[in-house]
Structure 1
Amino acid sequence: MKFLCVSDQIDPLIYSSSVKERYGDVDAVFCAGDLSMEYVDFIVDSLSKPTYFIFGNHDLSEYKYYKKTAFGDIPEVNYDKGSHFHGADYASNRTIKNKFLYFTAPNGKRTPLLIAGITGTLRYNKGQAQFTEAQMKRQLIAMIPSLLWNKIR
């Protein structure tokens, strides 16, 4: 499997009209860190590959549409109007089983790719998407049941 991983800055090799020729053979794209959603949109539109993203700690203009509320749910995004839908899957604080990408073990057993991520960084000035070590640990611990369930299956 081939993955394209981008983070923290716009790469002119990707943000170009020849991106499909350079990276059209990747199986999935992972966008992490401080990337504008316009850049993520460009990657999704140009490559038409499964794309997953998490926010970093600086470019957070659309974080409010994705962060969990006090009740644990993510606010509804109006997909009909396309106001904040970017064609990529938000991979923070959850596990995603990709239905199209599989690892093949030496014994021939195919296993779907499992994706998990956490948005943000350790707190350094009480900004958005910054968490104490205890908060970050709780986010990771909250993903354990789905990871264990995946292992059992």
Structure 2
Amino acid sequence: MRVLVVSDEVEPHLYGPGAVRLQGTIDLLVSCGDLPFYYLEYLAGTLNVPSYFVFGNHGFELEHRADEIAIAHPRVGTNLHVTTVNERGVLMAGLEGCLRYSPHGRFQYSDSEMWQQALSLLPRLILNRLRYGRYLDVLVTHAPPFGIHDQPDRAHTGFKSFLWLLRTFRPRYLWHGHVHVYNRNQVIATRYCETNVINVYPHRVIDV
């Protein structure tokens, strides 16, 4: 399965001919958050593929329409937050948002709050194990794990609960965004236990 994973920034070449050129070569679209709905709807419609997403920390501040009609989610795609799906044999789960850095923020969580979110995945992951012989293939998040691709400022510090999920359930991949990449020396792919942790900003094409 060939997956287009996007996050954090609308790329003009993909919001146009670039997506058309990818038609027929992409099997799945995944968003790691902080992208406007119209962008995800355009990509999913142009590529004509299933799509999944988690919200980023900016949430509805970015994910709006030019006509200012308020909607709660894209008109295409499935929200992966605290749920699991089996997409043609690939087991995926998701966790939205980032570490809380301001008093108000719908998609910001304290460390303890994210632990609760992560633990809520347990029944579904155990059911995956019973049904398919493994817990998870891909964990989709907005923020990175603690100490992997994160930054020293609070807004871009990763979650420790993600490390526990990787050690315990050993997915093949964790895809995240949130941390923007500004130079070629910035690390964007790290192996942790049995998981390839990949910062997909602003997009990556990944063969699963």
> Residue 120 in 1 paired to residue 77 in 2?
no
Aligned-partner Cα distance in 1 for 2:4–2:72: 26
- Which of 86, 95, 99 pairs up with 1:97? 86
Deviation at 1:20, TM superposition (A): 2.4
- Which of 125, 135, 153 pairs up with 2:113? 135
**CA 1:114 to 1:60, structure 2 compared with 1: closer, same or farther past 3 Å?**
same
Percent identity of the aligned residues?
Answer: 31
Matched letter for residue 88 of structure 1: G
Range with bigger deviation, 13-22 or 35-44: 13-22
Equivalent residue, structure 2, for 1:56: 56
Task: Give the 3-state SS of the residue equivalent to 2:60 in structure 1.
Answer: coil
Higher relative contact order (CA 8 A, sep 6+): 2
Give matches, 1:1-150, under 5 Å.
Answer: 1-61=1-61, 85-98=74-87, 101=88, 112-126=89-103, 127-150=105-128
Deviation at 1:17, TM superposition (A): 3.1
Deviation at 1:44, TM superposition (A): 1.3
Runs of 4+ in 1 over 2 A off after TM superposition: 82-85
Aligned-partner Cα distance in 1 for 2:96–2:49: 21
Deviation at 1:18, TM superposition (A): 4.2
Aligned-partner Cα distance in 2 for 1:115–1:129: 20
RMSD: 2.1
- Structure 2 gaps of 5+ residues are 64-70, 132-208
Aligned-partner Cα distance in 2 for 1:85–1:48: 15
1:34-57 Cα distance to aligned partner (Å, 9 max, x none): 100111111111111011011101
**CA 1:138 to 1:84, structure 2 compared with 1: closer, same or farther past 3 Å?**
closer
Structure 2 length normalisation: TM-score? 0.55
Deviation at 1:15, TM superposition (A): 0.6
Deviation at 1:129, TM superposition (A): 0.6
**CA 1:151 to 1:132, structure 2 compared with 1: closer, same or farther past 3 Å?**
same
Matched letter for residue 97 of structure 1: N
- Structure 1 gaps of 5+ residues are 64-81, 102-111
CA contact (8 A) 2:31 2:53 kept: yes
**CA 1:143 to 1:85, structure 2 compared with 1: closer, same or farther past 3 Å?**
same
Structure 1 length normalisation: TM-score? 0.73
Equivalent residue, structure 1, for 2:165: none
Matched letter for residue 151 of structure 1: R
Aligned-partner Cα distance in 1 for 2:72–2:95: 24
How many residues align? The count is 123
Aligned-partner Cα distance in 1 for 2:55–2:126: 25
CA contact (8 A) 1:62 1:84 kept: no
